[in-house]
Amino acid sequence: MSAAHPQSKLRVGVFDSGFGGLTVLREVLKLLPGADSIYLGDSARLPYGSKSHETIARFAVSSARFLHDQGADLLVVACNTATALAFDEIGAALPIPVIGVVSPGAEAARGASPEGGVLVLATAATVQSGAYSRALRAVGIDAYEKACPLLVPLVEEGWVSHPVTDAVIRIYLDEALKAAPEASTLLLGCTHYPLIEPAIRRVLAGMGRTLAIVDSARATALATARLVAEEFPEAAPAEHPRREFFATDSVAKFQRLGAEFLGQPLDEVKLVDLGG
């Protein structure tokens, strides 16, 4: 046990409006298997993606503060909407390093050599913020963003392999590829979307289109591991790392749906009241 060196244990905080960020935590745990982790899903106030900048910033900052109060040494904002609309506010509110998913997502898209530009699928709020377009244009890549408000409800309904979901994806992609016909890379700008990546591939194939598909989960985990190596070089892996999960709404539902996103069971989920 490391009780004699409490400063050498690293605690990674990860936050999302719901379950989707667990796909990011999954990748983080692969790269930092010895780190303690603490995850918060703000499920009582989800979805963030249909709401305003002010409301999203208020919810995101209070969620981030909770994880800092619980002892997080760094924070991963594993929510595209919160990153796109409130990254600066979160950073200003916390005295610890903060990583978002937008810049790593843009990096991942650049890695796919998108000569024809990148098509970003995201929530309405993320698209409205223009954060992905700015991040991609900053690295010299043309970007087109498409709001897909129904994809999160369809994933949450469990219709990840369903003709209705395929039909909705087809409508969104039809509209998007009319506006950005040269796009060669598709960036999944919401942590829910990796669960319907097979459906997206199927629909693209049916349309006779071939696009590289990237998401930000793996890239965000790599950025997190890099930051840990730089800022916490003395951090020693825990022998029995703690995995703590908090949710602001029903823990039973979170435990049940969360396992699908994390890829392993969630032993225990604790309820937390962040007001509201």
**Positions marked catalytic:** 79, 190
Among 44, 60, 109, 143, binds a second copy (CB under 8 A): 44
Mark 229-258 with x for binding to a second copy (rule: CB under 8 A) and - for no binding. -------------------xxx--x-----
Asked if 43 is part of the footprint of a second copy (rule: CB under 8 A), the reply reads: yes
In 206-255, where do the E strands start and end? 212-215, 243-247
- For the bound state, the minimum distance from the C-beta of residue 52 to a second copy, rounded and expressed in Å, comes to 4
DSSP reduced 3-state for 72: coil
Residue whose tokens read 């700015």: 134
26 vs 253, which CB is nearer to a second copy?
Answer: 253
How far, in Å, CA of 154 to CA of 273, rounded? 27
Asked if 58 is part of the footprint of a second copy (rule: CB under 8 A), the reply reads: yes
Which burial class, exposed, middle or buried, applies to 178 when counting CB atoms under 10 A from its CB (0-12, 13-18, 19+)? Answer: exposed
Among 40, 98, 109, 168, binds a second copy (CB under 8 A): 168
Q: Which stretch binds a second copy (CB under 8 A): 19-27, 89-97, 151-159, 230-238?
A: 151-159
| Cβ neighbours for 88, distance < 8 A, ≥ 6 positions apart | none
59 vs 144, which CB is nearer to a second copy?
Answer: 59
174 vs 231, which CB is nearer to a second copy?
Answer: 174
DSSP at 196: G
Contact status, residue 22 vs residue 39, Cβ threshold 8 Å: yes
102-111 and 216-231 helices, crossing angle to 10°:
110
How far, in Å, CA of 30 to CA of 12, rounded? 13
How far, in Å, CA of 270 to CA of 250, rounded? 9
Listed residue (256, 243, 206, 187) closest to 26, CA to CA: 243
- For the bound state, the minimum distance from the C-beta of residue 273 to a second copy, rounded and expressed in Å, comes to 8
- For the bound state, the minimum distance from the C-beta of residue 241 to a second copy, rounded and expressed in Å, comes to 29
124: tokens are 């309405």
Among 157, 175, 182, 231, binds a second copy (CB under 8 A): 157
Asked if 192 is part of the footprint of a second copy (rule: CB under 8 A), the reply reads: no
26 vs 256, which CB is nearer to a second copy?
Answer: 256
Asked if 129 is part of the footprint of a second copy (rule: CB under 8 A), the reply reads: no
Which residues lie near a second copy (CB under 8 A)? 43-45, 50-52, 54-55, 58-59, 62, 149-150, 153-154, 156-157, 159, 163-164, 167-168, 171, 248-250, 253, 273-276
